[in-house]
Structure 1
């Protein structure tokens, strides 16, 4: 995603955001949101299937042990590998990355459904976390789309925050195993991805005016834009669920 950001992110300031209503921009953003929604739908379907419908022994085999670790880290590996290998991705390649990441995250989130579905109020907490995430995401994305303030200055800070969260999460997972540290990571992670939601929305809006007229680049931008917002949403949901679920996380 860093390669994508460097290739397509505009270097313009706040003045470029003072634009009139543009039907092309509206269609572009609608395409991004629609693809993101389809990705979330697939993720939810796979998570429910592997967490509640698939036989328990199959679920435990897939989501624990070596196979579970592969599923957990495969999306990150795909994103990093695609960033190094695909300098100028085609629409097909971008779609392969998107749906691979979405599918793997969906299977991995089956562990959440598996744990919460077996608790009296577990699925209620999941539903509340999802609804809260959806409302928050909508508000933050709307802010990023409508604000005249240039948010590009926050980009480096937010990306460094994501790297810090990943490192801290790995350390806590394998070394510290602290519930308090997990809660702190969840709160900080929620704030970081909330900021990224607004930042990415504005970045996509500005990107449209840089790519207008180039159908190939626009198709790639739609897919990677959907991936950016999808990752923002999923991470906000998981961090919020960890906060609301307390020790069950």
Structure 2
């Protein structure tokens, strides 16, 4: 009886570990593809010299496609939705890249390299440290809402100081989001690789743009 119960427990543990590893593999595979696709749409926007889409169109497109991805996350249409979302975000990034590349191309390279190093480092730490980062959830939710409101305030007030402060704030928040979401997958809290991909993609995107802003500002001040 006891050996049978032990076998059942072990088998269940293997299934759970296998499921978690599958979600993690699928998430990283889809994340790599969406990053590549977003890079292609951003490059297209640069080549076509696209102007900024404007705040309303950018926010409307982002939240609309995010809502669509959430609604279709458990179907094949979810894959199309996530590529539509990340591709759109790449288009919105294009004009920003054009502006920085024309004036300070090294800033773009530094921001990209730093983003990659931070993402890989934090992901590895979340996977191998065995620590539980679920306590970050409430902090991240509140912090992102506050940061979003402050970002809009800085935009309408045209305050460069507040804008830089928001960028610094988002570097910390997005770093925390990478830790939290990776940990959430490992602990079995996130079982949908499409939504896990979206969370990590948004974290990488905002981390990159925030670093771009901060590095660009530091370059201007030199």
Q: Above 0.5 in TM-score?
A: yes
Q: Is the 8 A contact 2:68 2:81 kept in 1?
A: no
Higher mean Cα deviation, 185-194 or 73-82? 73-82
Contact 2:37-2:83 at 8 Å conserved across structures: no
Correspondence for 2:152 = 170
The one of 125, 129, 134 equivalent to 2:111 is 129
Equivalent residue, structure 2, for 1:190: 171
Structure 2 SS opposite 1:28: helix
Q: 1:236 to 1:115 in 2, by over 3 A?
A: same
Runs of 5+ consecutive residues of structure 2 not aligned to the other structure: 1-12
* Contact 2:101/2:108, CA 8 A, preserved across alignment: no
Classify 1:98/1:81 alpha carbon distance in 2 versus 1 (closer, same or farther; 3 Å). closer
CA distance in 2, matches of 1:172, 1:45: 30
Structure 2 counterpart SS, 1:91: coil
The structure with more radius of gyration: 2
User: 2:155 and 2:187 mapped to 1: Cα distance?
Assistant: 38
**TM-superposed deviation, 1:92:** 2.1
Give the 5 Å matches for 1:202-221: 202-207=183-188, 221=192
The equivalent residue for 1:14 is: none
Following TM superposition, by how much is the alpha carbon of 1:117 offset from its aligned partner in structure 2, in angstroms?
2.5
Q: Deviations over 1:44-100 (max 9, x none)?
A: 11111111x11x4xx12xx255xx6413541123324665xx3x8422242233112
What are the equivalent positions in structure 2 for 1:1-249 lying under 5 Å apart? Answer: 22=17, 24-51=19-46, 53-54=47-48, 56=49, 59-60=50-51, 63-65=52-54, 69-80=56-67, 83=70, 86=71, 89-119=73-103, 122-174=104-156, 176-207=157-188, 221-246=192-217
**Alignment size in residue pairs:** 206
